[in-house]
């Protein structure tokens, strides 16, 4: 009887101890358990076929956009460049993946010139329309080509979330264009084990 009481008390203390353990408060949206791990096979901006395993060991920020985007993409990539600057040496442990939602126009060469104009830590990715559609569905990204404009061009409406995966490819956080760079930098540092 005494042993049963002692075991019960130890179990209660263990549970209470677990409840009182400090929990990290993310500044971004925690998506653990809500989105699948990073997985794809696409063509990078050097023309090589790559898959998600090529980026294991690095924290990945995944963003969908296109090179002809008039406003949101350049602004987001500029913010990610500032993020890389704020991370300093930790930026070498991260990679921004810019997935084109306009594979008809975004060749690897065009993507290479575009992403490198923002930051060397950004890799452009493209593929067949079916590959892009499948990856977008995997992460619940919406995009839609608009009507042809005078002169033959067109715009592509698209989601603007930044999906953050840890160095094992697990979906961890979601950032939006409304999140300050300081919040993204804070959470990225925590994921990299270098909490401020």
CATH architecture entry for 27-191: 3-Layer(aba) Sandwich (3.40)
Name the band, by pLDDT with cuts 50, 70 and 90, for residue 24: low
pLDDT in tens, 55-96: 999 999 999 999 999 999 999 999 999 999 999 999 999 999
Q: How confident is the model at residue 23, as a pLDDT?
A: 53
Q: How confident is the model at residue 15, as a pLDDT?
A: 38
On whether the pTM is more than 0.95, the answer is no
Q: Which residue has the higher pLDDT, 92 or 18?
A: 92
HEC profile of the chain: CHHHHHHHHHHHHHHHHHHCCCCCCCCCEECCCCCCCCCCEEEECCCCEEEHHHHCCCEEEEEEECCCCCCHHHHHHHHHHHHHHHHHHHHHHEEEEEEECCCCCCCHHHHHHHHHCCCCCEEEEECCHHHHHHHHHHCCCCEEECCCCCCCCCCEEECCCEEEECCCCCEEEEECCCCCHHHHHHHHHHHCCCCC
In this prediction, residues 113-127 reach a mean pLDDT of 97
Q: How confident is the model at residue 25, as a pLDDT?
A: 85
Residue 21 has pLDDT above 90, yes or no: no
């Amino acid at each position: 009887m005494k042993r049963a009481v002692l075991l019960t008390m130890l179990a209660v203390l263990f549970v209470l101890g677990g409840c009182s353990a400090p929990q990290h408060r993310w500044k971004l949206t925690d998506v653990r358990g809500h989105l699948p791990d990073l997985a794809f096979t696409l063509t990078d901006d050097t023309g090589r076929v790559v898959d998600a395993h090529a980026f294991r060991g690095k924290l990945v920020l995944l963003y969908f956009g296109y090179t002809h985007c008039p406003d949101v993409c350049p602004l987001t990539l500029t913010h990610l460049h500032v993020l890389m600057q704020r991370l300093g040496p930790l930026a070498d442990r991260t990679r921004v993946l810019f997935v084109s939602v306009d594979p008809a126009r975004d060749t690897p060469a065009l993507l290479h010139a575009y992403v490198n104009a923002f930051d060397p830590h950004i890799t452009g990715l493209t593929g067949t329309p079916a590959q892009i559609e499948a990856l977008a569905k995997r992460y619940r990204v919406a995009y839609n080509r608009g009507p042809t404009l005078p002169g033959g061009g067109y715009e592509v409406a698209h989601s603007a979330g930044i999906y953050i995966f840890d160095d094992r490819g697990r979906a961890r956080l979601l950032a939006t264009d409304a999140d300050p760079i300081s919040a993204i930098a804070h959470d990225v540092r925590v994921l990299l084990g270098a909490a401020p």
